[in-house]
Amino acid sequence: MDKLSVKANAKINLTLNITGKLPNGYHTLRSIMQSISLHDIVTVEKTAPNEIEVICGGEIPSGEQNIAYKAAREFFRFADISDMGVKITVDKHIPSEAGLGGGSADAAAVICCLNKLFGCELPQKALCEIGASVGADVPFCIMGGTALCEGIGEVITPLSPLECECVLIAKGKLGVSTKEAYEKIDSTEIKHSPWEISDFSGGFESWAKLCSNDFEAVSDDPEVEAIISEMKSCGASLSQMSGSGSAVFGLFSEHKKAESCRKKLSELGVFAEICGFAKNSIE
């Protein structure tokens, strides 16, 4: 096998509590993450030795600045492969600077593809170790599904799959710098709503009421507030920001209501797409 294409699914944070800050500047968190079917398509192909080429559309940087490049470089280093090269093509569908883990999903896809293409057969634990060296959300994007993520995101406890009829993802014109969002968190005292893993074992309507995101308290993006308001007025059981933003997700019990909301947001020039929960991150 010389070429492999996969779907790299986005993620949303059903809960996101910032619990502390480490001496190295990283923040610790407690979050339930969920893979969703909104995805990029990542293609990895063997090429001339000692070359890593990344092609990515839009405003996403190619070359060494792309997280997919870093993922390939770290995989080859970890697997002790020095005479092989790859071409990585990313067909972007996940909005950037959105808190949806698009870059992390691409990196995870590259790591998993390289593991197969080069016949390394590294276990998932090793793949997650490589991923953690690239980005905090990459290990979850390798494992996928529903999981409690702690530490800086690398301590992952798989959870039973959650059910939801449909998810509406929406993002306005503005993006959010993760660095700046954490700086705002550092200067704000936030009270967390208590929740336990067991609280998420019930039906959709019960656990949806427990979800929250600390970053909403420091968001100053008027589009975020407007989108959340619109989703709730259209019947979303839950609407909140994902990650550090600026994307918003709405969970709906009826597809008809989600589609009506999608149309309204699209007419306002907002990116809006309906998807669902996914049991895997890489497909």
The structural domains of the chain, with segments of one domain joined by +, span: 3-158, 166-275
Cα separation, 238 vs 228, in Å, equals 9
> Per residue in 151-205, pLDDT tens?
999 899 999 999 888 999 999 987 777 778 888 888 888 877 778 888 888 778 8
Does the annotation count 137 as an active-site position?
Answer: yes
Tell me if the bond preceding 246 is cis, omega within 30° of 0: yes
Task: Point out the catalytic residue in the list 7, 11, 70, 171.
Answer: 11
17 forms bridges with which residues in the sheet? 30
> Per residue in 196-245, pLDDT tens?
888 888 778 888 888 999 988 888 888 999 999 999 999 999 999 999 88
Q: What's the CATH class of domain 3-158?
A: alpha beta
Q: Where are the beta strands (DSSP E) in the chain?
A: 3-21, 27-47, 52-56, 85-91, 146-150, 155-158, 166-171, 212-213, 238-241, 248-252, 271-275
CB 170 within 8 A of CB 15: no
**Token output for 49:** 């030795």
pTM for the whole structure: 0.94
Cα separation, 105 vs 242, in Å, equals 15
Cα separation, 174 vs 184, in Å, equals 17
Backbone phi and psi for residue 207, each to the nearest 5 degrees, phi listed first: -75, -20
Domain 3-158 identical in fold to domain 166-275: no
Does the annotation count 91 as an active-site position?
Answer: no
**Token output for 196:** 């336990």
> Per residue in 144-154, pLDDT tens?
999 999 999 98
- Return the CATH number of the domain spanning residue range 166-275: 3.30.70.890
Task: Point out the catalytic residue in the list 40, 106, 137, 214.
Answer: 137
